[in-house]
Structure 1
């Protein structure tokens, strides 16, 4: 079995609204389950969006409208982004969304808390149930952002929360056009969101040369636009 081959195929995907997920953050960080619970090749790729880590914590996965971007580090510890479905993930949150609302310009954002509130406010205006999980998309010019790629040492021994934090390699961008793929939920802490946030988001620049798990974000008013899943039968507005 390859390093990325799933060995938890008996664990079915769980669905909440439009969102599906397999595995859980807590199983990775606290139980040390690092092998793949799902293979990207097995997913329905039609208008697919998703985020998660690569199996064995050797990279990050961001799927944008059916295109899977994989961020890893090269032999010189420099980040590299490629496209491939030939990887697995210990946990993955994903959704197939064919139609989105029209882009809605956002106010200035200085941190992830601001981003979370912006998503909540827009979702409420569009009649989205905040007690149901949903994906969101943001595109625009990022003033500055910090993101990480998980890159665990294969010889590190049994995984612990301390080793998990140590395995994160941090990078930053500034004044760069980027996309954010995110998922919102008030009820999945430790599953696909962390305990201090209702969102799990990844950033990928428009050149598709930089990508990772979003840790810090800022943009100026009107510099970025948000899109939410469009309700069946509704027209973009």
Structure 2
């Protein structure tokens, strides 16, 4: 399948049409940097048969969901968050949708937070002939034991408001430019409709640092809003688009004519990816960009992955790892990586993570309800869990504090 280069994003905004029929109007990152919330596409005249998608209205006065071609809006002036068709002249500031002729279902194997779900979707997409880099609509059906969602109101946010999606990445659209009505509805049944953005549209169709833009729709289809927190339970049903014939053909031809992606060395490729993202973003502050900081971080990653010694021991509910080295440079890398990782990931997947410095390195302890999985992943597997590394790299290169939440 032909992929649109990342550098093309800047040239084609505000509307992008990628392979697998994902279309995006607007740009999350640009909106967050500039505060511009004007309309980018008319909703009342949008003709999108068999489309599924999500977004927010101009002025951040409400949320948008598209279900099988029907455009529905939940507005902040309705405390019940009921959906209705768009009003005459109503527009969206952000809208991501795709046409889906047929769906294929996958059962969720275990409870998943959104970052884990994004990784699971990527793995499933590759096996099903979808292009994980380009993005596509998704759906999840089930009963959600943890669920918090909101509808933006268009009103000024309360002073010091930190609630809502995206607060950990500098403020989401619901807390930096608009107030919101918040709904904590743990245990509710319904459907999640969303967009998996892939690498190309991360930060454009979704919050920066995330590859999922999700909205909840109640079981009766009458209420909807943007998901802030959710736990996808085991046995929920994930629905992914059936690959188009052209996509399947490209996937089948992959072995015969592979797409060249590798930059020659993994650290070089990681820097290349971040550099491309910065160059594609018109809001990049080049006076703060620090690619060298990213290079030093990648050296730490290399030291911990390839040059550290790891001793493991089972403890009640999990495992304890002692990570050491005789090389002072590697010791410094171990302490920097392990302490920061635990501070970021404690609580993810229901795990309790602790870290402390020790002679020659650090000790990391991880416990949770799934001790076998913790032990099976081991130290380096646990260090890779979550998609925060990409956001961390972008923050470092952008001159921001990656741990300033």
Q: Would the TM-score normalized by the shorter structure come out above 0.5?
A: yes
Q: How far apart in 2 are the matches of 1:155 and 1:149?
A: 13
Residue 229 (structure 2) pairs with residue 209 (structure 1): no
TM-score, normalised to structure 1, is 0.82
- Change over 3 Å in CA distance of 1:57–1:12 after alignment to 2: closer
Q: Which residue of 2 aligns with 1:50?
A: 53
Superposed, which structure 2 residues align to 1:117-156 within 5 Å? 117-153=119-155
Q: Which one scores higher on RCO, CA 8 angstroms, separation ≥ 6?
A: 1
Q: How far apart in 2 are the matches of 1:88 and 1:109?
A: 36
Structure number with larger C-alpha Rg? 2
Q: Which residue of 2 aligns with 1:73?
A: 76
- 1:174 match: secondary structure: coil
Q: Which residue of 2 aligns with 1:14?
A: 16
Q: Which residue of 2 aligns with 1:28?
A: 31
Residue 102 (structure 2) pairs with residue 99 (structure 1): yes
Long gaps (5+) in structure 1:
1-10
TM-score, normalised to structure 2, is 0.49
- Change over 3 Å in CA distance of 1:12–1:162 after alignment to 2: closer
Q: Which residue of 1 aligns with 2:189?
A: 177
Q: How far apart in 2 are the matches of 1:220 and 1:15?
A: 32
Q: How far apart in 1 are the matches of 2:110 and 2:146?
A: 12
| Post-superposition offset of 1:47 | 0.6
Q: Which residue of 1 aligns with 2:83?
A: 82
CA contact (8 A) 2:147 2:188 kept: no
Q: Which residue of 2 aligns with 1:165?
A: 175
| Post-superposition offset of 1:19 | 0.4
Deviations 1:202-227 (A, max 9, x none): 111111233111121114321x1011
| Post-superposition offset of 1:12 | 6.1
CA RMSD for the aligned pairs?
2.6
How many residues align structurally? 218
Runs of 4+ in 1 over 4 A off after TM superposition: 160-164
Richer in helix (by share)? 2
1:225 aligned residue (220, 223, 237): 237
